[in-house]
Structure 1
Amino acid sequence: MKKVGILTLPLNDNYGGLLQAVALSGFLSQHGFEVVFLKNEYFKNKWKSLVWSAIARIPFQNVNGARYAHKKRVLHKAFIKNHIPRRTRTLRSIEDFKSIVKQEKLDAIIVGSDQVWRWDYILDGYERYFLSFVDGSKVRKISYAASFGKPQWQAAEKLDEVSKLLADFHAVSARESDGVAICQQLARKDSQLVVDPTLLVKPNFYDQFLIKAKHVSEQKTLLTYVLDEQGKKKDFINAIHESLGTDYAVKSLGLQSDRTAPEWVTAFHDADYVITDSFHGMAFSIMFNKPFVVIGNSHRGVSRFTSLLQQLDLVSRMVDESSLEKYSVKDLVSHKIDYNEINTKLQLLREKSANFLMNALEATR
């Protein structure tokens, strides 16, 4: 086994999606594999792609988010080039994917991680995320930490089709326990639960991204990374800040942030307390041993949080966005996390997940 392709959602404005791709690529490279990143894009015909590309470059507008997405691509371009150096041409159709598998002579393809199996995210060509373009008798088909994003499979009419596609996989794993249950529903009883790639690598993997502060502040930092801002969340954040005290300054990130990926990672690394409603915000808080509170985000999927928190006995760190007023802010702030215990549990999950992936890549059919 030498050459492995990675397929994930298009890398646009999502810091977590970008960093999990870099982490998985880095992990495989560390273990001696040649990694080829399949440059996945949303399926559009050639002329529609050209039109949207032109619109995206027009300043002072943001038609259907095109300008915003373009600015994010420009922002992350250097980081992707440096840390995912081996990428294919842009792939916009099943025919493109079939062609690249032959051209690259791949030994295996890994689909994952992140919400690559969330139905409402993949409607533009869901078959590719179940590797329909790959002959399983010639190329190993593996899912690593694939997420459905929801506790149930959302497209009942596709059950038989997707079950047949998954039957051709050499190994199947999911990021959430709900995902494992869905895989079992789709006839993969051997599906395993593994950690997100951002947690598969050890914390020192991220040392290469950290930016040294030019000025050291005496104030501590309350970092907020909140994707869906609304009044109740703002009130909750203000209450946490008030409880922490004036020694803490608030630093806010969000979907509209113009921070680079290294700046984003550094913000979590340097934070003294974190509030987030993001799965990867939670993951990096745990990775860097930060006191944190995660706000359960029902729209984006709560099981993404609870599955990992349950494995680490950290469920008490999650609050429900629909009833934030019922929680004792004082208790949340005063409760200390025993990271010696958490790190031991996380290392066991990391080793189990690494063993799954290495066995999937190295075993024969």
Structure 2
Amino acid sequence: MYNYGASLQAFALQYYLESLGHKVEIIDYLPYYHQSRYNFLYIPLDSNHYTLFSSNGFMRLVYGILKNLCIFKTWGRKKKFDDFTKSFLKLTSTHYETIEELRDNPPIADIYVAGSDQIWNTEMYNGKDPAYYLDFGNSSTKRISYAASIAVGKIGKDLEDVIRNRLSKFSQISVREASGVDILGNLGIKAELVLDPVFLLEKRKWLNMATKATQHPETIKSRYILVYDFLHDDRIRMFVAKLKDQYGVLVVSINDYRPLNYADVNINDAGPLEFLNLVANADYIVSNSFHATAFSIILEKEFYVYPLMGQNNSSRMEDLLRGLGLEKRFNSSEIQKNINYEIVKELLDNKRVKSANFINNSCFHNM
């Protein structure tokens, strides 16, 4: 899955657990719904094109050609993600693609950890996948979650019993949004509120990681507003225009395959390190991304974040900002005064201590 937040939070949790003396492996699990992008002929079952293009081999080939024409610009991005995985993530020697494979040949460990990112978002495939609820392996193996995200405001009634049953096997549960604590509490499940793993690493560690990136020449010599808007949101476009008009700096966009027509520089081959570097060197960051927001805070940047259009998963951003006194940076229509990061750092440090305590108590207790 070629997602900046997923890769960087996986590295952060791995690094932090290793710093405590644990041997850590990330389960190399890649289900079908995370494989579609670079699988030339794969057509998701829920795609609008499935009926039309899956009917015969010729039509599937046509689909593959059309698809590749759209995403060919992102193969450089894919390579940088793959290089990041090889260099920084320690995966299990066994690769898994189904829950059945995990159950037939589970990874051997003292503790299984679920987290982080939107693994329990029941409006997505992964939120219904037993694998993300650690429904495999020996029943005596300890199971915990760290900063798992439910992301949505509620779980459908039809899934409540399923979720309750799957999470009953966990020794300790933590999530990264206050709303998630309440949702699970309503199911009779105790959960603690912790920070996303990227916050467990200090600013200097992330800045050091950022220096390993390939820099775009335009961002070396110019001040810029960084835009990460994967939905081409008009609210973001209008706000960025206001920022550019006031400060007179470049607009640099991190893209998938579609460029932003109002950006001065469009970058579609950024990997996780490049993402970090672009945030670290920007004057302003405007996005609809949780992890762009998280790294803006860690690296003490001026930022603005908007809820995703048509999606019910903004609770994680709202909870994070509210807890740090940064509510005015959410869905803003006006340019705000600069953030007092001394106050933010104090609040963040307190939350870091609580998050670290959860990990220490969960991983070392009764071992």
TM range (shorter): 0.7 to 0.9
Q: What is the CA distance between 1:54 and its match in structure 2? A: 5.1
Contact 1:140 1:169 in 2 (8 A): yes
Q: 1:288 to 1:238 in 2, by over 3 A?
A: same
| 1:192 corresponds to | 192
> Which whole-Å deviations, capped at 9, do the CAs of 1:236-272 have from their partners, x for residues lacking one?
211121122x2x2221113332112111100011111
Q: 1:74 aligns with which of 61, 73, 79?
A: 79
For structure 1, the 5+ residue unaligned runs are 1-11, 321-326
Which amino acid letter does the alignment assign opposite residue 342 of structure 1? V
Give 1:203's aligned residue: 203
User: 1:56-205 residue pairs with structure 2 within 5 A?
Assistant: 61-62=66-67, 72-101=77-106, 104-122=107-125, 126-136=129-139, 138-153=140-155, 155-189=156-190, 191-205=191-205
User: Which consecutive residues of structure 2, in runs of 5 or more, have no partner in the other structure?
Assistant: 43-60, 258-267
The 3 A distance-change label for structure 1 pair 111 and 65 is farther
Q: Which of 226, 236, 246 is residue 223 of structure 1 equivalent to?
A: 226
| Structure 1 residue 22 corresponds to structure 2 residue 11 | yes
Alpha-carbon separation, structure 1, partners of 2:95 and 2:70: 20
The match for 1:237 is 240
Structure 1 residue 182, shift from structure 2 partner: 1.2
Preserved contact between residue 26 and residue 92 of structure 2 (Cα < 8 Å): yes
**Alpha-carbon offset, residue 99 of structure 1:** 3.7
- Partner SS, residue 224 of structure 1: strand
> How far 1:195 moved relative to its partner?
0.6
1:226 Cα deviation (Å)? 1.3
The equivalent residue for 1:252 is 253
Structure 1 counterpart of 2:41: 55
> 1:39 and 1:70 mapped to 2: Cα distance?
21
1:262 to 273, 276, 279: 273
Contact 2:214/2:274 (8 A) holds in 1: no
Structure-1 separation of matches of 2:313 and 2:294: 15
Residues 40, 67 of structure 1: alpha-carbon distance in 2 compared, 3 angstrom cutoff: farther
What is the percent sequence identity of the aligned residues?
A: 25
SS of alignment partner, residue 253 of structure 2: strand
Equivalent position amino acid for 2:209 in 1: Q
Displacement of 1:218 in angstroms is: 5.8
Aligned-pair RMSD on alpha carbons? Answer: 2.8
1:204 positional shift: 2.1
Residue matched to 2:50: none
Structural mapping, 1:278-293, within 5 Å? 278-293=289-304
Counterpart of 1:168 in 2: which secondary structure? coil
8 A contact 2:143–2:172 mirrored in 1 = yes
